[in-house]
């Protein structure tokens, strides 16, 4: 069996994953993700089940590619959030109406056939049906404003306001969807110490 060097996408693309205490502008490149979509409050059962399904797929992809000599570290969970009304202030709307897409970044060498094999393996193991709608897609956000949010997710509005302020100072407008990158997990650290990178594409 060939020896695999484990690829860490966060180290390779470290300039895209800065976690500053004040908002900054960054430039991102197109990135490949396994994704799954849904709707409703972030703490709801649908979000948790689909996040679990996405992790199952990501770790199965890792196993499949490691056997082929291409190992990689499974990345953090990420998500995109948006509203049907496209309001800038998502928090002003009923969380049950929020749309989300959960993401896990994967290497560019992951292809559609790899995903198909991973889902088939999971189905044969009797995993929940949530693995079926997992997709592989490339997301290109381009220039973004980014900042680290420390604390409960419910208080992210204060951080987002600072990001909007920087965009305005730079004569930029926010576009696209709010992007969250979870550096810590609820239940493992107190809510006050949760660390989340917030990202918003600008133009």
15-29+141-203 shares its CATH topology with 31-139: yes
Q: For 21-32, what is the mean pLDDT?
A: 98
Q: What is the pLDDT of residues 57-97, one digit of tens each?
A: 999 999 999 999 999 999 999 999 998 875 556 767 788 88
Report the predicted TM-score, pTM, of the whole model to 2 decimal places: 0.93
Question: In sequence order, what are the residues at sequence separation of 6 or more whose Cβ sits closer than 8 angstroms to the Cβ of residue 127?
Answer: 53, 56
**Which tokens sit at 154?**
């419910």
Phi, psi of 112 (to 5 degrees): -60, -35
Question: CA 103, CA 101: separation in Å to the nearest integer?
Answer: 6
What is the mean predicted confidence (pLDDT) over 94-111? 93
The SS3 assignment for 178 reads strand
Q: Tell me the CATH number of domain 15-29+141-203, given options 3.40.50.10860, 1.10.3720.10, 3.40.50.920, 3.20.80.10.
A: 3.20.80.10
Place of tokens 């470290």: 14
Distances (CA, A) of 29 to 41, 74, 99, 142: 29, 19, 24, 6
Q: Which residues pair with 25 in a beta bridge?
A: 145
Torsion of CA 97, 49, 56, 33, to 10 degrees: 0
pLDDT tens track for 123-181: 999 988 889 999 999 999 999 999 999 999 889 989 999 999 999 999 999 888 999 99
What pLDDT was estimated at residue 182? 96
Where in the chain are the domains? 15-29+141-203, 31-139
Candidates 114, 178, 188; CA nearest to 145 is: 178
Whether residue 101 has pLDDT greater than 70: yes
Please write the tens of the pLDDT for every residue from 38-56: 998 887 788 999 999 999 9
pLDDT at 146: 98
Q: Residue 71: helix, strand or coil by DSSP?
A: coil
Whether domain 31-139 has CATH 3.20.80.10: yes
Q: Where is 118: in which H helix or E strand?
A: helix 112-124
pLDDT at position 41 is 82
> Helix, strand, coil proportions of the chain in percent (round to 5)?
35, 30, 35
Which of 96, 111, 100, 108 shows the shortest CA–CA distance to 77? 100
Assess contact for 97 and 90: CB atoms under 8 A. no
Please give the Cα distance from 45 to 63 (Å, whole number): 27
What's the confidence (pLDDT) of residue 1? 46
- Is the predicted pLDDT of residue 2 greater than 70, yes or no? no
33 DSSP β-pair partners: 105, 137
**Residue of 102 and 96 predicted with greater confidence:** 102
């Amino acid at each position: 069996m060939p020896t695999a060097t484990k690829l860490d996408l966060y180290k390779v693309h470290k300039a895209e994953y800065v976690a500053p205490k004040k908002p900054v502008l960054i430039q991102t490149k197109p990135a490949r993700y396994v994704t799954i979509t849904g709707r409703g409050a972030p703490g709801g059962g649908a979000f948790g089940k689909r996040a679990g399904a996405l992790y199952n797929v990501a770790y199965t992809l890792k196993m499949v590619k490691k056997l082929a000599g291409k190992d990689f570290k499974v990345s953090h969970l990420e998500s995109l959030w948006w509203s049907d009304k496209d309001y800038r202030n998502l928090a002003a709307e009923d969380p049950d109406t929020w749309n989300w897409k959960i993401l896990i970044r994967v290497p560019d060498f992951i292809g559609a056939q790899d995903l198909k094999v991973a889902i088939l393996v999971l189905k044969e193991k009797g995993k929940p049906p949530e693995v079926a709608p997992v997709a592989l897609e490339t997301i290109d956000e381009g220039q973004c404003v980014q900042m680290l949010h420390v604390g409960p997710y419910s208080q992210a509005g204060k951080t987002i306001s600072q990001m909007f302020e920087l965009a305005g100072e730079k004569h930029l407008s926010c576009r696209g969807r709010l992007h969250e990158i979870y550096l810590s997990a609820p239940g493992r650290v107190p809510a006050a110490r949760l660390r989340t990178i917030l990202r918003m594409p600008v133009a």
